[in-house]
Amino acid sequence: MKILSAVTESEVWDHWKAVENFSHDDFRSDIREPLPDDVNWHLAEIEPQDLDRLFIISSSDWTDISGGTFRVLDVASRLNLASEDENTLRIANDIKGKITFFQCGGDLDTKLIAVTNSTDSVITFIEGNRRSVVFAVNQMLVGQIIYIGISPQIKNYKWVVASFR
């Protein structure tokens, strides 16, 4: 991951609000509030060596579709596997719809939001998980500019547990 510049936390949250069309300031408090207090936010570029260390948020509904790894590339490779898991079916269908939309010329926001404990560690998306899989399927993750929050305390953040196993 190549750090490009520092940004403010409010820029990151404003972007998230715009992407998700949230009109209230307490949006996704379940994800934002448990973040460590010392997160420093940046714009960063995803590099080829990052692909194997990109993870989906550690939410149980992603367990089956990721094969228990929570890796973005694993989700991308498992989209068409047979499953009876309700969450897998819901997530896979939504991602496939986004893939079709994107491949037919639709526009998807590429500035995903992720966190890490250092620039050479695992990277976990906290916003844009499904879009990250769409970009992986289309081999477009490398070169994407994302927001990345860096904190040495991020390993204690509940939404990254699977990334650090």
Domains of the chain by residue range: 2-164
Phi-psi region of 105 (alpha: psi -120 to 50; beta: other; left: phi over 0): left
Question: Is 75 buried (19+), middle (13-18) or exposed (0-12) by CB count in 10 A?
Answer: buried
Alpha helices (H) along the chain: 9-20, 29-32, 72-78, 86-103, 129-137
Please give the structure tokens belonging to residue 76: 């991308």
Q: Is the pLDDT of residue 9 over 90?
A: yes
CA-wise closest residue to 141 among 112, 117, 98, 104: 112
pLDDT tens, position by position, 121-148: 999 999 999 999 999 999 999 999 999 9
pLDDT tens, position by position, 112-125: 999 999 999 999 99
pLDDT tens, position by position, 49-85: 999 999 999 999 999 999 999 999 999 999 999 999 9
**pTM to 2 decimals?**
0.95
pLDDT tens, position by position, 77-111: 999 999 999 999 999 999 999 999 999 999 999 99
pLDDT tens, position by position, 10-57: 999 999 999 999 998 889 999 999 999 999 999 999 999 999 999 999
Please give the structure tokens belonging to residue 121: 């560690």
CA distance 123 to 1: 9
β-pairing, 123-127 vs 113-116, is antiparallel
